[in-house]
C-alpha cells in the first residue's frame, strides 16, 4: 500500500532521468507549486476546524444561557419545531424558534425582492417591445413607400419605352 501523500513526500520524490524525458526544472517547479497549495489547504483546514470548535463552544454556552428576546414580533407566526429527542430545554427551543422566525423573514424579503425584480424586468420588456413595434411600423411604412416608388418608376419606364417604340415606328414608316 502506498504511503499518504504529504508535502514532504512530494518534495522528496525522486524520478528516474531518461533521455528525451520531461524537463527536470519544470517538474520540480510544478511539484513546488503543489506543495505550496497543499500547505495552504492544510492551513485553511486547521483554521476551519478551529472556527468549528469555537462555534460548538459558543453553542454550548448559548444552551446554558437564556434565549435572547426578539426585538419585534415576526410578521407571520412561525410553526413550532418538534422537540428534540433528548427532551429538549427551553433555551434550545427559543433559539430554534428565533432561527425559524429569521428564516421566514428572510424568505419573505427574498420573495419581495424577487417580485420587484420580475416587475422591473416586465416593465423593461414592455418598453423594449413598444420600441420594437414602433421600429417595425416605421420599417413597414418605408417598405411600402419603396414599393410605391418602384411601381411609379416601372410605370414611367414602361411609358418611356412605349413612347420610344412609337417614335421608332414613326421613323420606320417613313
pLDDT tens per residue, range 122-143: 898 899 999 899 999 999 999 9
Give CA 8 to chain center in angstroms: 40
Q: Is residue 5 part of a domain?
A: yes
C-alpha cell at 154: 416601372
Least confident window among 71-85, 96-110, 137-151, 153-167? 71-85
Can you tell me the distance from the alpha carbon of 2 to that of 52, in angstroms, rounded to the nearest whole number?
31
pLDDT digits (tens, 9 = 90+) for 150-168: 999 999 999 999 999 999 9
Judged against a pLDDT cut of 90, whether residue 144 lies above it is answered with yes
Q: Is residue 4 part of a domain?
A: yes
Residue located via cell numbers 424579503 = 109
State residue 49's pLDDT score.
87
Helix (H, G, I), strand (E, B) or coil at 37: helix
Mean pLDDT of 96-104: 85
Q: Is residue 97 part of a domain?
A: no
Q: Is residue 88 part of a domain?
A: no
Q: With contact defined as beta carbons under 8 Å apart, do 42 and 4 qualify?
A: no
Whole-structure pTM value:
0.34
* Distant-in-sequence, close-in-space partners of 95: CB < 8 Å, separation ≥ 6: 62, 63, 67
Any idea what DSSP says for residue 14? -
State residue 84's pLDDT score.
45
Of 63, 39, 61, 59, residue with least CA distance to 51: 59
* Distant-in-sequence, close-in-space partners of 104: CB < 8 Å, separation ≥ 6: 74, 75, 76, 78
Count of alpha carbons within 13 angstroms of residue 112, beta-carbon side: 6
Can you tell me the distance from the alpha carbon of 131 to that of 138, in angstroms, rounded to the nearest whole number?
11
Q: How many domains does the chain have?
A: 1
Q: Is residue 30 part of a domain?
A: yes
Q: Is residue 44 part of a domain?
A: yes
Q: Is residue 33 part of a domain?
A: yes
Beta-sheet strands, E only, within the chain: none
Highest mean pLDDT among 71-75, 88-92, 124-128: 124-128
Range of the domain at 10: 1-65
Judged against a pLDDT cut of 70, whether residue 80 lies above it is answered with no
Q: Is residue 42 part of a domain?
A: yes
Q: With contact defined as beta carbons under 8 Å apart, do 75 and 102 qualify?
A: no
Q: Where is pLDDT greater, at 22 or 42? A: 42
Average pLDDT over the chain reads: 80
Least confident window among 2-6, 118-122, 132-136? 2-6
Amino acid at each position: 500500500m502506498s504511503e499518504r501523500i504529504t508535502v514532504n513526500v512530494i518534495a522528496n520524490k525522486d524520478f528516474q532521468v531518461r533521455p528525451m524525458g520531461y524537463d527536470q526544472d519544470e517538474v520540480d517547479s510544478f511539484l513546488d507549486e503543489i506543495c505550496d497549495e497543499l500547505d495552504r489547504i492544510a492551513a485553511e483546514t486547521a483554521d476551519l476546524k478551529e472556527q468549528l470548535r469555537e462555534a460548538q463552544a459558543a453553542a454550548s454556552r448559548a444552551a446554558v444561557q437564556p434565549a435572547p428576546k426578539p426585538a419585534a414580533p415576526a410578521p407571520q407566526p412561525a410553526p413550532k419545531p418538534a422537540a428534540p429527542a433528548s427532551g429538549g430545554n427551553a433555551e434550545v427551543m427559543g433559539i430554534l424558534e428565533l432561527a425559524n422566525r429569521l428564516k421566514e423573514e428572510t424568505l419573505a424579503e427574498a420573495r419581495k425582492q424577487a417580485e420587484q425584480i420580475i416587475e422591473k424586468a416586465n416593465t423593461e420588456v414592455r418598453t423594449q417591445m413598444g420600441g420594437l413595434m414602433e421600429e417595425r411600423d416605421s420599417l413597414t411604412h418605408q417598405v411600402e413607400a419603396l414599393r410605391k416608388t418602384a411601381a411609379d418608376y416601372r410605370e414611367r419606364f414602361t411609358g418611356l419605352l412605349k413612347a420610344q417604340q412609337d417614335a421608332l415606328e414613326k421613323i420606320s414608316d417613313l
